[in-house]
Amino acid sequence: MQKNNRVSLSPLLKRYKFFFDLIKRTTDAYLFCTDMQTNVAMVSPNLVQDFGLPGEVILDFDKHWGPLIHPEERGLYMASMRAILKSRNVYEHFLEYRIKGKKGEYSWVCCRARVGLDRDGSPLVFVGMITRMARRNQADEVTGLLNKYQFEHGVKMALAGYRATGEGGAVFLFGLDNFKIVNETHNRLIGDQVLRHVARSVGSILPPMLTLYKLDGDEFAVIYPGAGEEQVNEIFTGIQRSLSQPHVVEGRTYFCTASAGTVFYPEGGKDCLVLYKHAEAAMDIAKREGKNRNCIFSKEQYNRWVRSISMRDNLRESVENGCTGFSLFFQPQVAADDQRLIGAEALLRWKNPKGRMVAPMEFIPILEETMLIIPVGRWIVEEALRVCRKWRKVVPDFKVSVNMSYEQVKDSSFKEFVNECLDRYAVPPEALVLELTESKIIADWNFVNREFDHFRKKGVAIAMDDFGTGYSSLATLKNLSCDIVKIDREFVKKILENDFDRRLVKYTVEICHSIGIKACIEGVEEAGEYELLRQECDADIIQGYLFGHPESVENFEEKFLAGKVAD
């Protein structure tokens, strides 16, 4: 190693020394200025002090600095310096890396430097500043795990690894399901204990070469070079198993589940921010699809997710503007025996701001998820009753069926709202049918029945929609007190060719009748289907394209009420 006193300032550095001495007193940053011709550097005294450099004037700064850089970043540093020295058009150096202090500990620094050219454009000096990255040097406060800055660096290193070796891998994020509830119903301290427990138990099941990072909130991450789906699934099952162990905090037992999102690189992105964004989206999809699962990023699914996010904003805007863009279509319901018009089902339609009609299957789940179904549901009841009042002047026993989500049943003020609307529009309760259209598991049947009994006592009928699909089945029929069962189109579709489905429809109608429930058959499209149903089973109501498609109010009046409606 050189002796400090042997190196003296070059004439060029001597010229700058006056400024350098002034500036170094104004900052805590580490400063350096290298004469590129002689390779002599002048450095600020704090560099000498904190990193044990031989002196404030050094020959070949990199020879002393390079070995102090963490091996994981050293290659990048050297490559950047070589580019500065060799290339005639690289004049800037910007790098974050770990550097070893005098006591042997690593800390993160950020180095920014520039090349100064002489009049002919040849490199003259290299001047820069190194700062400590306080945020990066902190571990996650709650769990003590490496934090999001180190995660970011880890992803960058994994990508650099891919560029060097061609080996891809996975970025895996997971978050705790319903963690917000733990924080809200208890307090942050308990929330923190739960996070520490998760950090410990998940940390202990990870393969030793992998690191568990803690990002914002309740989000954790693992970077897994070389992993495919199988390895990632193994990790996720491990996490599920470790979280399934009960965890006791202050005498209370907690169980938690996690939802995860995985993105493979380079397919899912070659940039740290893009990979993170994709992994987060995948995790959000896992949560929306029912939680406690791992979703693997795909471009198609991601595009759908982006659309649903923008649809959410547009729906909110529509609702805030008094439900503009929404409209109700009505589909006729006829008596099964004589095809007489007896009512209609109100079906919600929505035009997005670009004027495109969006399918109810796309926007209704979003209304439910965002609880916007509550205000929209009220608007629907009001519209449907307003129209029903008009149409009852032409068909006196006309009934309107309104679809209702479980979210609306849970809304305690919905009952009063319906009662008030019936009064306001002077429509008798017998003219209203509420259809429970819910594919999710209903948690509390006693509660649902209590709410429905309130309506039924008043005279409003309750229908169970989509019978035979999802969770609407014989088991539900046993639990739910209702007046009408709507047998789904799934069964009607095949009755002409499938004996089993035909019998199923027939017996379902019989069971319903035996317990005093009416049966409505949905989705009847062809005359042949109707004939068969007439012969084989004794349903009460038919609804389907054969007797009419869903129509706007004006078209419905023209087609099915022979234009007799007066405003």
**Interacting residue ranges for ligand C2E, rule: CB under 6 A:** 331, 347-348, 360-361, 364, 380, 403-405, 435, 437, 465-466, 489, 522-525, 543-545, 550
Minimum distance from residue 196 beta carbon to ligand C2E (Å): 42
**Exposed/middle/buried for residue 303 (C-beta within 10 Å: 0-12, 13-18, 19+):** exposed
By C-beta, is 242 or 543 nearer to ligand C2E?
543
Residue number with CB closer to Mg ion (522 or 557):
522
As measured in angstroms, the least distance from the Cβ of 449 to Mg ion is 20
CB of 451 to ligand C2E, least distance (A): 15
Whole-angstrom Cα distance, residue 342 to residue 469?
Answer: 25
**Contacted entry of Mg ion, ligand C2E, none for residue 451, CB cut-off 5 to 8 Å set by kind:** none
- In the block, tokens 């934090």 appear at 147
**Cβ proximity to Mg ion, 193 vs 476, nearer residue:** 476
Give the residues lining the site for Mg ion (CB under 5 A).
403, 435, 465-466, 522
DSSP 25: T
- If the CB atoms of residues 445 and 545 are measured against ligand C2E, the closer one turns out to be 545
Q: Which is nearer to ligand C2E, 313 or 526 (CB)?
A: 526
Report the alpha-carbon distance of residue 381 to residue 418 in Å, rounded. 7
223 binds, among ligand C2E, Mg ion, none (CB under 5 to 8 A by kind): none
Residue placing its CB nearer to Mg ion in the complex, 296 or 484 = 484
Nearer to ligand C2E by Cβ, of 280 and 522: the residue is: 522
Q: Given 3-state DSSP classes, what are the helix, strand and coil percentages for the chain, each rounded to the nearest 5? A: 45, 25, 30
**Least distance in angstroms from the C-beta of 489 to Mg ion:** 7
Whichever of 57 and 358 has its CB closer to ligand C2E, that residue is 358
CB 218 within 8 A of CB 179: yes
Residues 219-253, buried b or exposed e (16+ Cβ, 10 A)?
bbbbbbbebeeebbeebbebbbebbeeebebeeee
Structure-block tokens of residue 279: 């992994």
Helix count and strand count (H, E) for the chain:
21, 22
CA 324 to chain centre: 27
Residue 154 interacts with which of Mg ion, ligand C2E, none, CB < 5 to 8 Å by class: none
Question: Rounded CA gap, 369 and 360, in Å?
Answer: 14
Residue 470 C-beta: closest distance to Mg ion, Å: 11
Q: How far is the CB of 300 from ligand C2E (least distance, A)?
A: 23
Q: Please choose, from the candidates 71, 5, 63, the residue with its C-alpha nearest in 3D space to the C-alpha of residue 34.
A: 63
Q: Check the CA dihedral 241-242-245-246 and report its sign.
A: negative
Q: Which does 348 bind (CB under 5 to 8 A by kind): ligand C2E, Mg ion, none?
A: ligand C2E
Look at residue 489 and give the partner it binds from ligand C2E, Mg ion, none, a contact being a CB closer than 5 to 8 Å depending on partner kind. Answer: ligand C2E
What is d(CA 459, CA 483) in angstroms, rounded to the nearest whole number?
10
Judged by beta carbon, residue 294 or residue 403, the one nearer ligand C2E is: 403
User: Shortest Cβ distance from residue 345 to Mg ion (Å)?
Assistant: 6
Q: Which does 360 bind (CB under 5 to 8 A by kind): ligand C2E, Mg ion, none?
A: ligand C2E
Q: Tell me how many degrees the CA angle 366-409-504 measures, rounded to the nearest 5.
A: 85
331 binds, among ligand C2E, Mg ion, none (CB under 5 to 8 A by kind): ligand C2E
- Nearest distance, CB of residue 439 and Mg ion, angstroms: 11
- Residue 544 binds what, of ligand C2E, Mg ion, none (CB under 5 to 8 Å, by partner type)? ligand C2E
Is the distance from CB of 158 to CB of 223 less than 8 angstroms? yes
Residue 508 interface partner, choices ligand C2E, Mg ion, none, CB cut-off 5-8 Å depending on type? none
Tokens of 275: 């990979």
Contact 468, 455 (CB under 8 A): no
The minimum distance between CB 435 and Mg ion, in angstroms, equals: 4
User: Given strand 123-132, what is the order of strands in its sheet?
Assistant: 57-59, 40-43, 30-35, 123-132, 106-117, 92-100
Query: Are the CB atoms for 263 and 221 separated by under 8 Å?
Result: no
Which among Mg ion, ligand C2E, none contacts residue 364 (Cβ within 5 to 8 A by kind)? Answer: ligand C2E
Q: How far is the CB of 466 from Mg ion (least distance, A)?
A: 4
Q: Which lies closer to ligand C2E via its Cβ, residue 115 or residue 372?
A: 372
